[in-house]
Amino acid sequence: MEKYDIAIIGSGSAGYVAAIRGADLGKKVLIIEKGELGGTCLNRGCIPTKALLHSAEIYSHFNNSEEIGIKAENISYDLNVIQKRKNDIINKLVTGIDLLLKSRKIVLKKGCGKIVDEHTIEINHEGNIERINAENIIIATGSEPLMPPCFKFDGKNIITSKEALEVKEIPKDILIIGSGAIGVEFAIFFSSFGAKVTLVEMMPQIIPALRDKKMAKLIQRILNKKGIDVITGTKVENIEIKEDGRVFSTLSNGKTIQNEKVLVSIGRKLNSEGIGLEDVGVKVENGRIIVNEEMRTNIPNIFAVGDVIGGLLLAHKAQREGIVVAEVISGLNTKMDYRVVPSAIFSSPEISAVGLTEEEAKEKGIEIITGEIPFASNGKALTMNETEGLVKVVAKKDTKEIIGAQIVGPDASVLIAELALSVEKNLTLMDVANTIHTHPTLPEVIMEAAKAALGEAIHKAKR
């Protein structure tokens, strides 16, 4: 029986990063993967959606270029080329990860991994059974789209994000159920290419995870301006495919909507079943593997990282967890800090957040001050013709320590990094406000928001 210091089930964002860090720290590492190297993010999530959204963004820019003096006629798109480009990007990145693993002599075995006991994993590859021994086991099995049985999923008319990524033609109209990151991003994608999009959310506000009502209202208003019909506080109770292929959806408000396709993006199912957890006694609650800040389960040598432990289902969070677990196994004093996990939605404009919202801080009894600056006041945003949105900074009233921020606007996914660093290092409003930012650039909005919280904003009218 082959023996390893670390055996990892799953090669997604958490799994392959844990493998690389573990190998760099001198461990003999094995990855077991039943599907594609790179997991959901690389093959069916983050990367392919961003490739599609980039094409949609370019197409939209040309269709709205007259206002900046560019006349473009007969603009068209080729979805086959768009899909090929997306697939080429995926293949390039998968090849890159494969090279990274090989350069560190990390072993990759194809097949389904199942934990037999605390140190043994059984690998089933097309009926061929193999067992390996591992000093430490890391579970990084990820998640998959959640589809309620009552929706009669067929993969053609009623689809998940997986099928949406492979569309061969843009539907005339589409209903998207769920307004999280996946729902909003696909709403932008399909709308940009001419589809009539209806976005239905059962919660009172769009993007429920963004616990800032003002920001949520701003995002909904922007989506409405783009022609996307947003319906909140409403459930889809039934979906029926008619003989002509049209999909009829019955809403809890009594209305019926018919569409060419329905995209269900109501969440994800954690992949904790069928991998032997019950056989070794690993604690699981509602599908979520329970771990501590070292990513350790109740079984000392078995760890879990990524989507399968729940919380924010984000690739960068999973990657950090992968680093933490590899360092813990290697004897380093490393722990996971969830205060500083930024999130981003790559809509148009983008949305990002880190730390606490104003509402969350108040719920915790923290006295706060906030600062807001709209992108409309920023010279660079004006030159880009992208003035929708704002930056909001949340800080403790007494110490002025920055504890959170939310951004809606151009390059929000990039801008949030400065504020994530601020939260991570307990920086104050003064630290950011007194840092000279290059002019004219978008990051100046962050500096101005910090100044606004201190009552010192330069580019904001006095009231």
Instruction: State yes or no: 326 annotated in a binding site.
Output: no
Pairing of strands 107-110, 29-33: parallel
Instruction: State yes or no: 306 annotated in a binding site.
Output: no
Instruction: Report the C-alpha gap between 305 and 292 in whole angstroms.
Output: 11
Tokens, residue 204: 């009172």
User: Which residue matches tokens 């209806």?
Assistant: 198
Tokens, residue 17: 């990063």
Instruction: State yes or no: 185 annotated in a binding site.
Output: yes
Classified as helix, coil or strand, 266 is coil
Q: What interhelical angle do 46-63 and 79-103 show, nearest 10?
A: 140
Asked whether 298 and 290 are in contact (CB, 8 A), the reply is yes
Classified as helix, coil or strand, 277 is helix
Instruction: Report the C-alpha gap between 260 and 156 in whole angstroms.
Output: 10
Asked if the bond preceding 440 is cis, omega within 30° of 0, the reply is yes
Instruction: Report the C-alpha gap between 364 and 126 in whole angstroms.
Output: 52
Instruction: State yes or no: 142 annotated in a binding site.
Output: yes
Asked whether 247 and 262 are in contact (CB, 8 A), the reply is yes
Instruction: State yes or no: 50 annotated in a binding site.
Output: yes
Instruction: Report the C-alpha gap between 272 and 276 in whole angstroms.
Output: 9
Residue 158 has phi, psi (to 5 degrees) of -110, 115
Instruction: State yes or no: 307 annotated in a binding site.
Output: yes
Tell me the DSSP string of 428-447.
Answer: BHHHHHTS---SS-TTHHHH
Asked whether 41 and 47 are in contact (CB, 8 A), the reply is yes
Q: What phi-psi label fits residue 74: left (phi over 0), alpha (psi between -120 and 50 degrees) or beta?
A: left
Instruction: State yes or no: 178 annotated in a binding site.
Output: yes
Tokens, residue 29: 């590492």
Instruction: State yes or no: 455 annotated in a binding site.
Output: no
Instruction: Report the C-alpha gap between 24 and 104 in whole angstroms.
Output: 7
Q: Could you confirm whether 125 is annotated as catalytic?
A: no
How many CB atoms lie under 10 A from the CB of residue 274?
A: 10
Instruction: State yes or no: 180 annotated in a binding site.
Output: yes
Catalytic entry in 54, 119, 437, 439: 439
Beta strands in 89-148 (DSSP E): 107-110, 112-117, 120-125, 128-139, 143-145
Instruction: State yes or no: 334 annotated in a binding site.
Output: no
Instruction: State yes or no: 201 annotated in a binding site.
Output: yes
Instruction: State yes or no: 411 annotated in a binding site.
Output: no
Positions at the binding site: 50, 113, 141-143, 178-185, 201, 267, 307
Positions at the binding site for NAD(+): 178-185, 201, 267
Positions at the binding site for FAD: 50, 113, 141-143, 307
The catalytic residue positions are: 439
